[in-house]
Amino acid sequence: MSCALVAPAGTGKTALLRSLVHALPEARYRTHYVKVTGLSKRDMCREIAAALGLPPAGTYPSLVRKLQENFTETSETLGLRPVLILDEAHDLRVEVLAMLRILTNFDMDSRLVLSIVLAGQPKLRDALRREELDDVAKRISHFATLRPLSRDETQAYIEHRCAIAGAATVPFDGGSLDAIFEIGRGNLRATDQLARKTLGIAHDSDAGTCCAAYVAQAKKVLWP
């Protein structure tokens, strides 16, 4: 089936998509990744065609037909399930989201050939609740949501990153870990940036441990 991944910016959406692609066996699936913007239906089809290795030329109807023929060939001839990942899908126009119903319609909706993964920020979920997109929303069998980390999860995340980097001990004291959470609010991207900059400041100060004061300095450097 098809699914949607809804996540605020910086919470690990793209990292999760990479893990998804890596986890799907190549012997069973063929994945195509497209990072979308506010394109027209024809331009969206051209982007998808380019991702499939097809000539991105033609009218909108001919492009749709070309895409469906490619997905059908992948499924019937190669025995692979085509998976189309549309990242930043919150930027899709309503008419382009509605087009997905056509792309997934094979033999008058009697066959499931293509799986679509829509990934975007929370306004994607709001868009799919619109009445004119009801048919599209009904084709999505699962909605997954990523949220910011809790205080304890943030600490565990930093400890994990330090461990895989080869650190024998965690170079952050309790105050610095609290400060990173209070500033970053569990956002993975902000947490990474704060922790990395704090480490740099502690190194320049020849300190053995990162403290809250270094986190405050890192915040001023990153977001003056």
User: What are the tens digits of pLDDT across the range 136-190?
Assistant: 999 999 999 999 999 999 999 999 999 999 999 999 999 999 999 999 999 999 9
Calculate helix-pair angle for 174-184, 188-204, nearest 10 degrees: 140
Question: Is residue 214 left, alpha or beta, with left meaning phi > 0 and alpha meaning psi from -120 to 50?
Answer: alpha
Global pTM?
Answer: 0.84
Task: Over range 209-217, report the average pLDDT.
Answer: 97
Q: Give me the phi and psi of 35, to 5 degrees please.
A: -95, 115
* 193: CB partners within 8 A, 6+ apart: 222
Note the pLDDT of residue 111. 84
Calculate helix-pair angle for 60-76, 94-103, nearest 10 degrees: 40
